[in-house]
């Protein structure tokens, strides 16, 4: 997907980018490739692939959730090189973004990237999601918590739902064949105070690969015992 195709494909979903935003995406790509030579941020470095599988794919959450109409506080758990929240921030500058990631080098990259792109209202935390969600400053404080291909639903729910305000949203960005995973993850969603609202399916342009945007509403306060200590959700998922 070249820059023109990227712009055109987003326009089909009602998202129009100005020159400044297009320049930010170009600078994002250049910075990503430059830093990827020093540290392993992504296996995808071809420009057309980055625009399709990182930039467009990240923004696809906005096809099924309204990020545009009001200020929102967003927490991105395990964002890696900034996906999906930094592309969303470029498109919707009013968003207040918090990223938590367990690798210090990624946080160093994100701080540099935010400076290069002149982003405001972004904060980056080097922490385990389990620990971060226990912090009273952040627990149940976000309008939206989002995660892209970080872990299976049962694990991800425990890491993310405690961070969501009651009446807020937890959004999972997933690949194909997730019906069984969602079925297995229902108990975790319910236990953590969530309710599965929607599972929207679409195909990524050009390569036609299947994607899912899963929307969970936070309907109750999460039990204080969750998330459990680091590593436990993955070893002993709520299933």
Name residue 126's beta-bridge partners: 101
- 3-state SS, residue 223: coil
| Angle (nearest 5°) at CA 120 between 22 and 115 | 70
Beta strands in 7-149 (DSSP E): 73-77, 96-101, 122-126, 142-148
**DSSP 8-state code for residue 46:** S
Task: Look up residue 40 and give its two tokens.
Answer: 């392993």
Q: Rounded distance, CA 193 to CA 136, Å?
A: 17
User: Is 148 known to sit in a ligand binding site?
Assistant: yes
- Copy the structure tokens of residue 189: 């969603």
Q: Do you know the residue count of the chain? A: 239
Region of 105 please: left (phi>0), alpha (psi -120 to 50) or beta: alpha
Angle, helices 3-11 vs 19-36, to 10°: value is 130
Would the annotation count 202 as a binding residue?
A: no
Find out whether 239 is annotated in a ligand binding site: no
* Residue 204 neighbours by CB under 8 Å, 6+ apart: 52, 53, 56, 57, 60, 210, 211
Residue with tokens 């592309």: 87
| 130 assigned to a ligand binding site | yes
Point out the annotated binding site. Answer: 78, 83, 129-130, 148
Point out the annotated binding site for S-adenosyl-L-methionine. Answer: 78, 83, 129-130, 148
């Amino acid at each position: 997907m070249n820059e023109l195709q990227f712009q055109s494909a987003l326009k089909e979903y009602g998202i129009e980018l100005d020159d400044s935003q297009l320049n930010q995406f170009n600078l994002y790509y250049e910075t990503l490739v430059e830093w990827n030579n020093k540290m392993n941020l992504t296996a995808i470095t071809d420009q057309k692939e980055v625009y399709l599988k990182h930039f467009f794919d990240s923004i696809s959450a906005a096809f099924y959730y309204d990020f545009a109409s009001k200020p929102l506080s967003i927490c991105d758990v395990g964002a890696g090189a900034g996906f999906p929240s930094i592309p969303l921030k470029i498109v919707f500058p009013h968003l207040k973004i918090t990223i938590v990631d367990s690798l210090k080098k990624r946080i160093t990259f994100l701080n540099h990237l935010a400076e290069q792109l002149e982003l405001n209202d972004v904060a980056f935390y080097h922490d385990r999601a389990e620990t971060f969600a226990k912090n009273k400053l952040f627990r149940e404080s976000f309008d939206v918590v989002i995660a892209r291909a970080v872990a299976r639903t049962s694990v991800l729910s425990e890491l993310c739902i405690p961070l969501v305000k009651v009446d807020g949203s937890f959004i999972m960005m997933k690949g194909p064949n997730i019906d069984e995973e969602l079925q297995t993850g229902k108990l975790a969603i319910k236990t953590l105070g969530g309710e599965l609202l929607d599972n929207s399916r679409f195909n990524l342009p050009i390569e036609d690969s299947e994607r899912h945007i899963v929307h969970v509403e936070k309907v109750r306060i999460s039990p204080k015992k969750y998330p459990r200590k680091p590593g436990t959700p993955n070893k002993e998922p709520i299933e």
